[in-house]
Structure 1
């Protein structure tokens, strides 16, 4: 996997003095390995220092620290046994006896023992490789032209004809408040932000998500979500706003009946004022019953059907507009330029900047990624590194319908582009019309949407089922 290409690098080169820094496997320690001379020589002791702190950055004194290493491609281990036994203060430990016997890629494993047991971190290093020089010389004009299509500069603004407030600041402000409002859940403890945490690139870091109840899928990032064509991993929704309201009623996620969502929303003065400014008159809530929704239990459905048809349609429209407010906030969570984007920019301008020049390993990984023989770009292309299509690569445990079920769900969704509440002519629903022209069985069972590779260093675990931890 070449996950280190986008965002923060997971593979670091030690071809000049630098710090290799990461959390241990179990996130108990933050470990920094300082290499105190260029690692150009083999069979020569390399002075180094380990800095070990707890996950909060506080100094710790482990019971034991060991360093081992090897070359995976050759099956060779270190020719020496490094020792870590001299404490220098402030979490710093001197490393003695560290030597490399061959040039090429090495892995160093730091193991740490404390009262809780062992934990470890593995660092990748390049030994004996020459300085990169001008990296642009390793890419052809065709390569650079191709790389440009993957950068943020090639990303057009997001748009949605069914959401006139998508880029409205007032709508986004209200959407932000809604996004973190736990009163939109039945137990008043779950919000959109429960699963989509900003500090984890709007994921939750878990294998499978958890709302009011455990979920059956991994939580994807919502950074740049407004640029998607289909929503959810199986594409069961065709707009960001129709996706945004779905978790609110979902029994496993927030489980709040539609009528109670509306009753709460219009009880908050800030929400009422924003709604009136953006969408006009408030709906008449005279006929609104409690615990009523067309998507819930038989009793909730019965209560929903007891309300007049005209009222139900007005309530659905208001519910859709709440989704539009949430979508306005999510659309503001845009993809930010990364070191990859700056690197490609430097290739185009032929300017060498130490901040953005990739290591030899990263350049090799990037060239491998764009090589047509490897077909990485068949799925991971464009500025979002996703073709926005659905594929079955056999990760699900157990197998399920995936896109096959998602395609059917979006076609019957009352909030889809061709529905009463979209606000656009059915003729403008090109994606939905194209989808409807196929029989749902055309779509591969178990197929899921190609995820973005952006911010991937902070969105583990991976795959729609969270089956790959790192």
Structure 2
């Protein structure tokens, strides 16, 4: 959290108390000491004899440093445009404080702030003095904010009378003076529309104190006494401790998968467990799912890039809790767990196989197990005339009749659904963080607590929050490529194109609930070089790190983030590091691994 001025902090409980009241119908400013006409002291008079002299303060306009006037911006909302001019009150008896709060739906601290707004609306000290404009920058996946995302965000903000609008370009960012984590607050004098100050992810008391100070300055009265915010266990503010409590593993609930009607069937899970470790499903007889996801290595493989029949281009991702993820693979090119399970079979570098080969193996070696799970609805077809191998694009498969393609592909899909059923039963054991988050304050050492405090202060919890310590969104942090041809990895941008062309989407005929498919946008420029935020569960034992597997230690990971990724000119990465990714110094870089080392993830298999 960063201050743009040297002010102590002070209670969101007191702070946002009257925001909704002020925002709902924009009531008149509360009665108080009458101030002189807006302007003066060298400024152009904005109100003369009680009448505005202009529709908006004259330029130059810019959202920049303190004291500048925001341009006449307009933001799209569900109720039509919201203009910055609509907050201009040059002839009000006294200034009100416009608070512009910028958030992203993928951001953990943003969710906390959104859910802790209404509780403060009863505080009378700020009644009639505050206006709140909530701006949404991006949706849950870090796609530029859009109206459906805004509707979902409205449900997260517990102040229904506040004004919500879209700001996908984050146009208030230049006022922050430096790169700061979300959410950010910009405070503006409604009589002059000048930016007064900014805050980044404030604790409750700090926000209230900032509001008190700004109102005191606007009213020309002494500032209130500054009070340091209370801390829990000597380290954590109220909002930080709430985020920590939200990281408890026992808060994790397995989401249903309506696209796989066998997802929670014990027989399917048992069948999938056998298939997961069967090297016989690869033509070489050397590769199984467990090759890259070894239970003895916390479902990793310990090498930079996955090695199947050839060396791949990316590090094997953690899969112990993948059933909870919205998207699969580093680039999100699969929208269900069963779709993900099918990909490696026909990948030239992984299994190097085909669906016809897999289906023949099932018929020859697993007929009884398959029929027990799927036979009632999808019995094994007669494969006598079906070639031994082949996939789409191969003549052996492409020349099959439509009916034969349908039958063999259905068996292939069911193999993926059985493996997904097994993976849904994977668990990780609790660690010291879980004990601490549950109230055992002795579960972490002083060094680990300090490291966790830095983790929260440095913006890491923007993306790494909740029981899995991930937001499942896609971000650009410019990690080095792991591609064998040394070209930069385009990540989610290519993943979206593959997703759009995919055969086994949740919306396809192979899904058991096509209507449950997640929407996605293919044309999203922010996704160039973006990769899915990995879970931190198990990170202590899952080196090497990043999508390319090029970082060997947790210290290297911390140093990479502290420098905001590789330099823009470095050809081994592509895309632009996001503006809300802060930099932090070498001291913090060396202290952060102490907390990350707490995050073990011993696997429990069903």
Tell whether the structures are fold-level matches, with TM greater than 0.5: yes
Q: Does 1:324 align with 2:413?
A: no
CA distance in 2, matches of 1:272, 1:179: 14
Greater shift, 407-416 or 154-163, is seen at: 154-163
Q: 1:366 deviation in Å?
A: 1.0
Q: 1:342 deviation in Å?
A: 1.0
Aligned match for 1:267, one of 348, 364, 368: 364
CA distance in 1, matches of 2:236, 2:399: 67
**CA deviation map 1:286-310 (0-9, x unaligned):** 4422222105xxxxx2111211101
Q: 1:137 deviation in Å?
A: 4.9
- After TM superposition, the score normalised by the length of structure 2 is 0.50
CA distance in 2, matches of 1:448, 1:203: 18
Native 8 Å contact 1:461 1:469 kept in 2 = yes
What residue in structure 2 maps to residue 221 of structure 1?
Answer: 318
What residue in structure 2 maps to residue 459 of structure 1?
Answer: 542
What residue in structure 2 maps to residue 249 of structure 1?
Answer: 346
Q: Mind listing any 5+ residue stretches in structure 2 that lack a counterpart?
A: 1-230, 482-486, 554-606
Q: 1:283 deviation in Å?
A: 2.7
CA distance in 1, matches of 2:375, 2:407: 17
CA distance in 1, matches of 2:242, 2:495: 35
Q: 1:231 deviation in Å?
A: 0.7
Native 8 Å contact 2:259 2:506 kept in 1 = yes
CA distance in 2, matches of 1:173, 1:154: 26
CA distance in 2, matches of 1:286, 1:443: 49
Native 8 Å contact 1:287 1:311 kept in 2 = no
Q: 1:191 deviation in Å?
A: 0.8
**CA deviation map 1:319-374 (0-9, x unaligned):** 11110000111111123211110111125xxxx5x5x2x11110111112223xx2
What residue in structure 2 maps to residue 8 of structure 1?
Answer: none
What residue in structure 2 maps to residue 411 of structure 1?
Answer: 500
Q: 1:144 deviation in Å?
A: 2.6
Q: Give matches, 1:277-292, under 5 Å.
A: 279-292=377-390
CA distance in 1, matches of 2:349, 2:362: 21
Q: Give matches, 1:164-313, under 5 Å.
A: 164-268=261-365, 269-276=367-374, 279-295=377-393, 301-313=394-406
Q: 1:239 deviation in Å?
A: 0.6
CA distance in 1, matches of 2:414, 2:278: 16
State the secondary structure of the residue aligned to 1:440. Answer: coil
Q: 1:136 deviation in Å?
A: 3.4
State the secondary structure of the residue aligned to 1:377. Answer: helix
Q: Give matches, 1:328-367, under 5 Å.
A: 328-347=421-440, 356=443, 358-367=444-453
CA distance in 2, matches of 1:250, 1:443: 27
Q: 1:141 deviation in Å?
A: 4.0
Higher CA-based Rg: 2
Greater shift, 282-291 or 381-390, is seen at: 282-291
What residue in structure 2 maps to residue 10 of structure 1?
Answer: none
Aligned match for 1:369, one of 455, 459, 479: 455
Native 8 Å contact 1:379 1:387 kept in 2 = yes
What residue in structure 1 maps to residue 48 of structure 2?
Answer: none
Aligned-residue CA RMSD in angstroms? 1.9
CA distance in 2, matches of 1:279, 1:341: 43
What residue in structure 2 maps to residue 402 of structure 1?
Answer: 491
Native 8 Å contact 1:238 1:416 kept in 2 = yes
State the secondary structure of the residue aligned to 2:439. Answer: helix
CA distance in 1, matches of 2:347, 2:319: 18
Q: Mind listing any 5+ residue stretches in structure 1 that lack a counterpart?
A: 1-133, 296-300
CA distance in 2, matches of 1:228, 1:179: 19
Native 8 Å contact 1:248 1:256 kept in 2 = yes
- After TM superposition, the score normalised by the length of structure 1 is 0.64
Q: 1:140 deviation in Å?
A: 4.0
CA distance in 2, matches of 1:441, 1:228: 21
Q: 1:139 deviation in Å?
A: 3.4
Aligned match for 1:440, one of 503, 523, 532: 523
Native 8 Å contact 1:162 1:423 kept in 2 = yes
Native 8 Å contact 1:203 1:459 kept in 2 = yes
What residue in structure 2 maps to residue 389 of structure 1?
Answer: 473
What residue in structure 1 maps to residue 67 of structure 2?
Answer: none
**CA deviation map 1:241-281 (0-9, x unaligned):** 01101101111111122111101111124433434457442
Distance 1:167 1:275, change over 3 A: closer
Native 8 Å contact 1:396 1:446 kept in 2 = no
Aligned residues: 317
Greater shift, 148-157 or 306-315, is seen at: 148-157
CA distance in 2, matches of 1:445, 1:221: 23
